[in-house]
Amino acid sequence: MFLQCGNFRLPLARPLIMGVINVTPDSFSDGGRFFSAAAAVARARQLIDEGADLLDVGGESTRPGADPVTLDEERRRVLPVLEALADARVPLSVDTQKPELMSEAVAAGAAMVNDVNGFQAPGALAAVAGSACAICIMHKQGNPQTMQQSPQYVDVVTDVRDYLSQRIAAAEQAGIARSRMIVDPGFGFGKTLEHNLELLRRLDELAVLTVPVLAGLSRKSMIGKLTGRDPGDRLAGSIAAALFAVQRGAAIVRVHDVAATRDALAVWNAVNQD
């Protein structure tokens, strides 16, 4: 099985690592550390050296309570980083909800568009349909300002799966082949700790969608709640969660700590594939 990702064809025989580059002043775990284009590019090159299979570049924090960023500001943050990394040996993903930026990022060389809003904005699917880029369709309930106030589901796994199934159908109707799609249950996006644990425990139930699943658990507040640790100190908990996700079928893990995750997956792969 492969993921078509712009000019890349990513084999999915073993779990892949997506490294996170936050070009933001306010991301929950590393806000401000890679806010200049130079710092973000240096970080990206470091994560590639550490073994990232792809990189996700974002210019707008989506942590609970985060303020939205204007299109111009998000452009200023993201495009120079993508342009400087055009020669990278791994595919670049852009993490954005804005259709205009999706098109511009793909023109600047992004091979994937990752939308936490599931390409629901008018024009979002059209912005990516005409290219060869991959798309990551994520589930969230509500928006970052209010999403953690009182998330509610009948059955969180069924609700998330039904939503993703509808968005896959919408993307197919827009002319996007399934070989370009991945889906993501959106850990922490309008979910309580119990919702997140249920989703992780039953992640294999998303396999019926027959598109690869991405899991983003790295440093998230659910890890903080379980370990009592601040975001910068959640590596061990994040690795435990990433390993559980791949055990339950995740094809890609989205992480801040690439080298450590790579080591953990090397051990997991060796045990799993023999």
User: Between residues 57 and 88, which has the closer beta carbon with respect to ligand HH2?
Assistant: 57
Annotation marks residue 98 as catalytic: no
Cα 83 from Cα 76, distance rounded (Å): 11
- Please check whether residue 22 is in contact with residue 231, taking contact to mean a CB–CB distance below 8 angstroms: no
> Residue 29 CB, nearest distance to ligand HH2 (Å)?
5
Q: Which of 108, 101, 90, 16 is nearest to 60 (CA)?
A: 101
> Residue 191 CB, nearest distance to ligand HH2 (Å)?
11
User: Between residues 99 and 270, which has the closer beta carbon with respect to ligand HH2?
Assistant: 99
- The site for ligand HH2 (CB under 6 A) is made up of 20, 22, 24, 27-29, 58, 61-63, 95, 114, 116, 136, 138, 184, 186-187, 214, 216, 254
Residue among 191, 220, 234, 248 flagged as catalytic: 220
- Please check whether residue 70 is in contact with residue 97, taking contact to mean a CB–CB distance below 8 angstroms: no
Cα 66 from Cα 148, distance rounded (Å): 12
Cα 113 from Cα 202, distance rounded (Å): 26
- Please check whether residue 115 is in contact with residue 136, taking contact to mean a CB–CB distance below 8 angstroms: yes
Question: What SS3 class is residue 195?
Answer: helix
> Residue 223 CB, nearest distance to ligand HH2 (Å)?
12
Q: Which of 231, 233, 238 is nearest to 261 (CA)?
A: 238
| Residue in the shown chain whose Cβ atom is closest to ligand HH2 | 216
Residue among 191, 219, 248, 254 flagged as catalytic: 254
User: Between residues 61 and 261, which has the closer beta carbon with respect to ligand HH2?
Assistant: 61
Token reading at 209:
């969608």
> Residue 2 CB, nearest distance to ligand HH2 (Å)?
19
Token reading at 231:
């975001």
Cα 175 from Cα 182, distance rounded (Å): 15
User: Between residues 194 and 272, which has the closer beta carbon with respect to ligand HH2?
Assistant: 194
Cα 37 from Cα 17, distance rounded (Å): 22
Question: What SS3 class is residue 26?
Answer: coil
User: Between residues 63 and 77, which has the closer beta carbon with respect to ligand HH2?
Assistant: 63
- Please check whether residue 45 is in contact with residue 21, taking contact to mean a CB–CB distance below 8 angstroms: no
> Residue 273 CB, nearest distance to ligand HH2 (Å)?
26
> Residue 51 CB, nearest distance to ligand HH2 (Å)?
19
Annotation marks residue 140 as catalytic: no
User: Between residues 59 and 267, which has the closer beta carbon with respect to ligand HH2?
Assistant: 59
Catalytic positions are 220, 254
